[in-house]
Amino acid sequence: MTRVALIAHDEKKPAIIDLAREYEDLLSTFELVGTGTTGKRITEETNLTVERKESGPVGGDTQIGAEVVDGRIDGIVFLRDPQTAQPHEPDISALLRICDVHDVPLATTETGAVYLLDGLATETGVES
């Protein structure tokens, strides 16, 4: 089954929830994993089930990176806020590197996320 990770900086959490709502039918056909707070918010505000890792500040993004290394993640949506990201929020650089090494797509913008999800839908034969 297709496995997608969902991560968002604090300022982008409303945007990732909007994306999850818009793509809820598609995302419901995937296994979803997320960092602690992002996963909790998506679960509370949609009908989606998200396997929650630790929060980003304590290593949730690193746990997701380990799943990339293990070949367990098919794509990552990491909506980041490059202008107001707080020091406690996860840093994308290590996750980006590991995705590049293992050829796993990672979207950092809402438009990129749409392309990533539409691409996974096409690859899996599920309508987005």
pLDDT digits (tens, 9 = 90+) for 26-63: 999 999 999 999 999 999 999 999 999 999 888 999 99
pLDDT value at residue 64 = 97
pLDDT over 70 at 13, yes or no: yes
38 is in an annotated binding site: yes
What residue segments make up the domains of the chain, in order of their start? 3-124
> 86-127: per-residue pLDDT in tens?
666 666 888 999 999 999 999 999 999 999 999 999 988 887
Nearest alpha-carbon partner for 122 in 83, 53, 55, 75: 75
**Active-site residue set:** 61
pTM of the full structure = 0.93
Query: Can you read off the two tokens belonging to residue 63?
Result: 């746990």
119 is in an annotated binding site: no
To the question of whether residue 28 is assigned a binding role by annotation, the answer is no
Which of these, 74, 81, 64, lies nearest to 126 by C-alpha position?
A: 74
Strands laid side by side in the 31-34 sheet: 50-52, 31-34, 3-8, 75-79, 106-107
Domain 3-124, CATH: 3.40.50.1380
